[in-house]
Structure 1
Amino acid sequence: MATTHPKVYVVATGGSISGIGPDRLDYLLYPELGKRLSIEEMLKRIPEVETVAQVESENLIRVGSPAIGPPEWLQLAHRINDLFDTDPDLAGVVVTHGTATLEETAYFLHLTVKSERPVVVTGAMRPPTAMGTDADLNLFDAIRLAAAPAAVGRGVLTVLNNEIQSARDVTKTNTLRVETFTSRELGFLGYVDSEGQAVFYRDVTRQHTTRTPFDVRGRETLPRVDIVYTYSGADGLLIDAVRQHGSDGLIVVGFGSGSLSSAVFEAGARAIQDGLVVVIASRATSGRIIMTPQKEAHGYLVADDLLPQKARILLMLALCQTRDRQALQEMFYRY
């Protein structure tokens, strides 16, 4: 009797995983050329996928990931939620994506997809036309992972270089190497390994997907949140510019454990007085920001251990729900 493989839907958005370079030694110029394989052409490169899943696909967006932002996040979330809502037989969804902003799109989906079924985001550091490309294996691994029962209920995952990571924690750490994506000191979750199995050693404990209030179905825009980076000698100029622009929220990226120069701290306090929601994150790559009496007295929020770019995403979604300071702070501890 024929074996029925799980159904997996691949949503393509472009990026290096689809890039076409001028020759097999090109690892840099292909984004500037702007030529891309379609998802149908990408899947033809891996006929082995027929042994693990029934695959359907579409080219939803075809851009490099620096061109992906809130409008595209909403478009992706709407499409994925619609796929899960209309097809109860769908095992999981794969999103192909450029690596520059992959972690941001993945975290947005981690908070807004309303299904326990897996969504797996993947990309490549080397285009499919390059010698030593990782595009084919990463796409194959992503489909295997989306089809795996072990991936259910873990939120949005990424897989590159055989490593399974949580969308909340993963970040890009190297400009060119294939092992660029890590989860910092928290560690990745498991492997899609050589025998074809998705093997998990750790789990995701922060709430996600069906356990968040962030349902963006029907929403066309998101609140504007900006990021200001602290550096030695920084003053309040950039924070004042954000305040005067009329943004809804601000992530201030502080030193180490969240310390700020007096000029930056005072500028942030002025912004809070004007009604801006201001969250302190850290320019360190690991560790938590902990609330202090001084920060609390001036109305600051803290990002816990979220990287600045992910704190921005959470604040954008949180501001769709409330502007209550305590409720917003609880969201940073919960998600």
Structure 2
Amino acid sequence: MFGATILVAGCGNSGDSAHIATPATTPAVSDQTDDAPAPAPGTQPRVTILATGGTIAGKANDNSAVGYTAGEASAQDLIDAVPGLDKIATLHAEQIANIGSQDMNDEVWLKLADRINQLFTDNAADGVVITHGTDTIEETAFFLDHVVASDKPVVLVGSMRPSTALSADGPANLRSAVQVAAARDARNRGALVVLNDTIHTARDVTKTNTTSVQTFVSPNAGPEGFVDAAAVRFTKPAARQARAHFQVPGSAPMPRVDIVYSHAGMNADQVHDAIGHGAKGIVLAGVGDGNTSEEVVDALSDAAHHGVVVVRSSRVGSGTTVRNAEVNDDQLGTVSALDLNPAKARVLTQLLLVNNITDAGQVQQQFAAR
């Protein structure tokens, strides 16, 4: 039914065998798959590039030796900077936004989700690439992973250096992202993030370095695969069954969910402030295994027992926040984020609130399933 690939650019199961990829659907709040046929032999896959700005579209300024202004180059500028890109796929470019990813917001997320779903529903693309700033690319990828109702590839890409840098990484990253979006084996993997010749899933990827081109890693699961000029190679098999997706929220903003960052000598002011400003959910970026001071634990428990969804995550860069280990979640009314970092735990909590899933037990089931 559908046959397009969408590439989004911007700043599963494990297995031992590698899979060489070629190009690739699913409806919202559904686990069905469209089973769209791949492009006929001898025809190019269709990839739509949705640009949102970020460093990949940035140009140098005079602020400092490494200063630049994000979101200066257009989607077409990015395509023109990569010779031979049209030999990989038939390309169509659209400008969704032109902002630094520090300014990414719910409104742009909804625009992206609606546009991607429409492209796939209309069979207008075999894959989508989204250009995006790297600072919040993992959050956008995680959101789209849960609301795009298709098994076709959605690939987010960015760069650590602006387009005018001496050794800009954006053009090579964009080429890699288009290759992945055009690869049939990229289907049934959810949203992917591609930078520095490496493919990551939206659930596992995180940024780990402020400036290095090797900043993105998947600390708990490892990368999903690798890409070079010759081939796309997946190191894990694609999912055998499509996952359920949420409906795209009807309007922005989504319910407010604040992240409270734990530290030594912490009091409960952040918790009280979040509640006072209307937070419907609170994610604790806790020390160690999602822990915090006794005063803050008491405040979070009180919030949970008064209808606020409270999720314990960790400020540590890897590992799992274990339920009922250092604190008694059952007694406190709190939820463990498991291996989701605070930023992604916040996004999932927002989506659950939109769908009126607020009971701690049900919320915990969703965190375990996704």
Normalising by structure 2, what TM-score?
0.84
Aligned-partner SS, 2:220 = helix
Counterpart residue identity of residue 60, structure 2: G
The counterpart of 2:275, out of the listed 243, 254, 279, is: 243
2:354 aligned with 1:320: yes
Shift of 1:212: 2.5
Q: Report the CA distance shift for 1:203/1:271 in structure 2 as closer, same or farther (over 3 A).
A: farther
After TM superposition, the structure 1 = structure 2 runs for residues 1-335 of structure 1, keeping only pairs within 5 Å, are: 3-22=42-61, 28-31=66-69, 36-86=72-122, 88=123, 90-195=125-230, 197-203=231-237, 211-216=243-248, 218-292=250-324, 294-321=328-355, 322-335=357-370
Q: Percent identity?
A: 40
Q: Matches of 2:209 and 2:233 in 1, distance apart?
A: 25
Conserved? CA contact 1:78–1:217, under 8 Å: no
Distance 1:286 1:84 in 2: 34
More helix by share: 1
Opposite residue 315 of structure 2, the aligned amino acid is R
C-alpha offsets along residues 55-113 of structure 1, whole Å, 9 cap, x if unaligned?
Answer: 00111101111110212111111111111111x25210000001111111011001111
Letter in 2 for 1:308: P
Bigger relative contact order, structure 1 or 2 (CA pairs below 8 A, ≥6 apart): 2
Partners of 1:230 and 1:69 in 2: CA distance: 24
- Counterpart of 1:133, as a letter, is A
> CA separation in 1, counterparts of 2:348 and 2:60?
36
CA distance in 2, matches of 1:146, 1:104: 19
TM-score normalised per structure 1: 0.93
- Please tell me the residue identity of whatever aligns with 2:290: G
Q: Over aligned residue pairs, what C-alpha RMSD do you find? A: 2.0
Q: Secondary structure of 2:328's partner?
A: helix
Unaligned stretches of 5+ in structure 1? none
Cα deviations by residue, 1:102-146 (Å, 9 ceiling, x for unpaired): 111011001111100000000000111111110100011111110
The alignment of Structure 1 onto Structure 2 pairs a total of residues equal to 327
